Structure 1
């Protein structure tokens, strides 16, 4: 679902998403208000609820889809969480994740020791996401909160696993077994599954223990496909 939201400021964009109940968690609202979409989107007016091409056959999702992802993941993010953003693209959600870690740390009055890893197969998009995040909040790099790498997101980032949260910004053609394998106990993976052009489902995977993973189909979506 999308809404006819067109406004002049990032704060009002998020306020309207709250009015539509696309954003309900105050921590999500805070992260999205602090992550100004103008740093990540090439649209003349970035404060509109629609996706946009960022080059390399990739897009930045519409704000309501970013909200949907964050609303489904915020409950499992902790001050110490290790997060993997697969197909990080513009770097927008990568920044949101880092801000949520900081907010969770402030709530607990502890240092934010978590880290967000962004991975993309395109060298150009890796460069773009780094540039965007530095314009928005350079301390994410200077303080080691975020690391962006080039690689095949379908394979995850085994050298940094296990992860407490994994989000895929592009669709896996089948159940993302390798990413599930890299989930920590208590961790959650959110991933669109299905072929481009066919029905795709946003699926949630929660690791219950070393053996068991709970799978939940959430909603129909449309995403570009994960590629090597």
Structure 2
């Protein structure tokens, strides 16, 4: 089960995710091995659970990062252009930058300015070259409208629950392209994969349900509203809805 994948080191964590069949693509495995989660999270970085990073935000659980990377992996090829909406700590953004290589481009968009600064600092601990090559860049912006300055993108990852599919994001996908996005469905949330084919036709596929747990949801909000949200008693307000996914979600993969 996903929550049994916690490790004593970054390599141990990734190997456990592989053993659990939550990571099965070699490129995803190598990216997660190359980007040390310990550079992006102070608290229990190798535990398979979301951890607080401040500002009512968390870094998602490793198994959810694995799910996103596996889903998007066909579009994270060398030279690809990628958008990460709600980039938070910068961890997943850095993993995607590892996958797209020096000729690729990954844009992380985050509406909390302090997290943008932190994500840059985190990335420089192990991958200063990503910043120097302009392979990876973080911007303070409202992710609900994407980031048109670098559009279109081969793939888009959304790390916060959306109240709808946000057509502005779909419009910024290349043809072909793919988006991984959690969407509210009233009593709970679901992960949708949105594919745009080479002719521009869009299909939306629900790939997994998400358990709605206390303190497990953060919406695509502006920074003012998010900063006013209070943490729960444990200080564990989860930024990404999909951090509390059902344990056997990997049955939906690969897509």
**What's the TM-score once normalised by structure 1's chain length?**
0.91
Rounded Cα–Cα distance in structure 2 between residues aligned with 1:147 and 1:136: 15
Asked if residue 226 in structure 1 is aligned to residue 220 in structure 2, the reply is: yes
Rounded Cα–Cα distance in structure 2 between residues aligned with 1:120 and 1:160: 15
Equivalence for 1:106: none
* CA offsets 1:62-116 (integer angstroms, 9 cap, x no match): 00000000000011222221100000000001110011112xxxxxxxxx32100
Equivalence for 1:67: 66
Equivalence for 2:236: none
Equivalence for 2:142: 152
**For 1:47, what is the secondary structure of its paired residue?**
coil
Equivalence for 1:89: 88
* Unaligned segments of structure 1, at least 5 residues: 103-111
Moved over 3 A (4+): none
Rounded Cα–Cα distance in structure 2 between residues aligned with 1:72 and 1:6: 21
Equivalent residue pairs, number: 217
* CA offsets 1:191-222 (integer angstroms, 9 cap, x no match): 00016x83101001111145420111010125
Asked if residue 3 in structure 1 is aligned to residue 3 in structure 2, the reply is: yes
Superposition pairs of residues 135-146 of structure 1, within 5 angstroms: 135-146=125-136
- Could you say which structure has the greater relative contact order, defined with CA pairs below 8 angstroms and 6 or more residues apart? 2
Equivalence for 1:199: 188
Rounded Cα–Cα distance in structure 2 between residues aligned with 1:6 and 1:64: 10
RMSD: 1.4
* Unaligned segments of structure 2, at least 5 residues: 223-255
Superposition pairs of residues 35-54 of structure 1, within 5 angstroms: 35-43=35-43, 45-54=44-53
Rounded Cα–Cα distance in structure 2 between residues aligned with 1:58 and 1:30: 27
The answer as to whether partners of 2:160 and 2:182 remain within 8 angstroms in 1 is yes
**For 1:184, what is the secondary structure of its paired residue?**
strand
Equivalence for 1:128: 118
